[in-house]
Amino acid sequence: MTRTNPATADSVFSPASAPALTVPSATGIDARLVLAGPGARTIAFIFDWMIRGCLATAWLLLVTWAITGNLGMDVSRDSETLWILTGAVPASAIYFLYHPVLEALMDGRTPGKRMTGLRVLTTEGQAPTTGSVLTRNVFRIIDSLPGFYVVGLFLVMFGSRHQRFGDLAAGTVVALERAPFLEKLARLRGAGSDTWQQVRQRAMTLGLRRGEVSEALAVVDDYRRAARELGAARPQGTAAATATEHLEATYADLHDVVHRAARRAPMVLWSVLRDQVPAAMYAMRVHVLAVTLLFVIAGVAGFWLVNTYPDLIAMFASRELISTVERGELWTDGLLNVTPSAVLSVSILSNNIVVSLFAFCSGIVFGLGTFYLVGLNGVSLGAIFALTGQHGLAGRLFDFVVAHGCVELSCICISGAAGSLLGEALVRPGALTRREAFRNAAREGMRVMLVVTLLLLVCGFIEGYVSPEPEIPRWARVTIGVGYWLFMVSLLRGYVFGRSRGGAPVIA
């Protein structure tokens, strides 16, 4: 449990205007984290935005120069596929994966945060786990939308912990890293002892997993000693502020290192896929059923509307697509002659993953955003099948869709179920606070979204290489689609990784 001090926190550990988070410790002395306000967070974000933008642009220009011999973007038709796969795709990955990758590798830091003295921590005062980092960055999808950006900004400005939506979902805060600044300030003034600087350096070394057992025991002793000295210094109030401020910061760093869980990435991933994902699916089984019914009903409604009132197809399809079908052709005909399979796969899987993440994250609007996206996809699919059916092309559309569609459409419904779980947590938190219920729902949903993302990667490959290929017979397409769907069910149930089949899974 954590509790937030008011903005008038005593100056022993923070400026009077800065809110702080107190974290209970086994020593009996709370660790205190000074939280970063909107100004510092904005500056850090601008620095990071400039860095990742420059890195992505530099990579794109380098690849362009290597392929074309100049820095112009006029890539020839023969080199376009190579340019997209080696230039545009990695540049996009650099830009969009900058925050999650660096925050996971640098224990909650990025270059921009480091330059402004900020760091992402959990509300327990520890370095965030990979799951927490992924969760807070996935919700950037919502935080970056124009309407929600204003809401997120108000949350950061006026919330007691300065948390945006992503921080609320992940259970993280952005705190000030005071110790390095205070050490530099002491050196400039020629004052202060090197004792606690050496203690923090030892803790940093251990935090990088480079220390020995003896050094780990020494850090634990340092932690206890810092707690004793801090417990004696705090009652003295503002008179000892200068002497104890660095000790406060060092103690918070020691608390992080001592209580940080060991990194066992393969074991954690195995546990997630074997036990936690099936448990999350069991917890949201009603949501999966409800969202699937919504999708089916919406699909039937879309089919009926267009079949009864053909002119309504203009609401769901472009004029070019309608004209193509009216000529007795599918827009997928000759697709491989226009777009190479590799480029098509990358484009499709990127779009599918974004749609699924939107379906999940939009559950933050009390589930309404999720229902809208799922319903819209269902109505559109039904309408398109009605249009192709009117021109005798429904069978060919089925042939195109069945290989990848069984899993792809299921993933949209599962993502929607995870989003509806978020919405229910906000509407009906039960015995928990809305903050706690939302965080729990986001954690369970993210575990499922991990598997959904992996499944959609393969769907993109199938849709790029198998679905547009006219030489593949229907029976083979049906076999691929149904077989992959059965694999998806086994994976989500945990059977692929050997989960016990006895009884319902229990959420940890």
Please count the CA atoms within 13 angstroms of the CA of 267 that sit on its side-chain side: 4
Residue 105 makes CB contacts below 8 A (sequence gap 6+) with: none
Residue 260 is predicted with a pLDDT of 82
- Which amino acid makes up residue 398? F
Mean pLDDT of all residues in the chain? 85
Confidence label for 201 from pLDDT (cuts 50, 70 and 90): confident
Tokens of 45: 């974000």
Chain centre distance of CA 496: 24
Query: What pTM does this model have?
Result: 0.87
Long-range contacts, 377-381 (Cβ 8 Å, 24+):
377/295, 377/298, 377/412, 378/294, 378/295, 378/296, 378/297, 378/298, 378/299, 378/301, 378/302, 379/298, 379/299, 379/301, 379/302, 379/305, 379/316, 380/302, 380/316, 380/317, 381/299, 381/302, 381/409
Rg (alpha carbons) of the chain, rounded to whole number: 27
Residue 150 and residue 366: Cα distance in Å, rounded?
18
Mean pLDDT computed over 223-240: 76
pLDDT tops 60 at residue 503: no
426 within 8 A of 364, measured Cβ to Cβ: yes
Under DSSP, the state recorded for 36 is: P
- Give tens-digit pLDDT for 72-129: 777 777 788 888 889 999 999 999 999 999 999 999 999 999 999 999 999 999 999 9
Confidence label for 491 from pLDDT (cuts 50, 70 and 90): very high
Name the β-bridge partners of 172. Answer: 122
Chain centre distance of CA 86: 24
Residue 243 is predicted with a pLDDT of 61
142 within 8 A of 122, measured Cβ to Cβ: no
Ranges of H-type helices in 234-329: 241-259, 265-271, 277-283, 285-308, 319-326
- Which amino acid makes up residue 329? E
- Give tens-digit pLDDT for 323-381: 999 999 888 876 655 667 777 788 888 888 999 999 999 998 888 999 999 999 999 99
Burial class of 223 by CB neighbour count within 10 A (0 to 12, 13 to 18, 19+): buried
- Give tens-digit pLDDT for 381-406: 999 999 999 999 999 999 999 999 99
Confidence label for 441 from pLDDT (cuts 50, 70 and 90): very high
Instruction: State whether residue 22 is helix, strand or coil.
Output: strand
Instruction: State whether residue 43 is helix, strand or coil.
Output: helix
Under DSSP, the state recorded for 253 is: H
Chain centre distance of CA 256: 23
Total residues found in the chain within this entry? 508
Residue 503 makes CB contacts below 8 A (sequence gap 6+) with: none
CA distances for 159 relative to 9, 49, 75, angstroms: 16, 24, 49
Tokens of 431: 């015995």
Closest CA to 394 of 406, 381, 403, 404: 381
Tokens of 276: 């936690």
Residue 117 and residue 114: Cα distance in Å, rounded?
5
Residue 25 and residue 228: Cα distance in Å, rounded?
12
Q: Would you tell me how many other CB atoms lie within 10 Å of the CB of residue 215?
A: 14
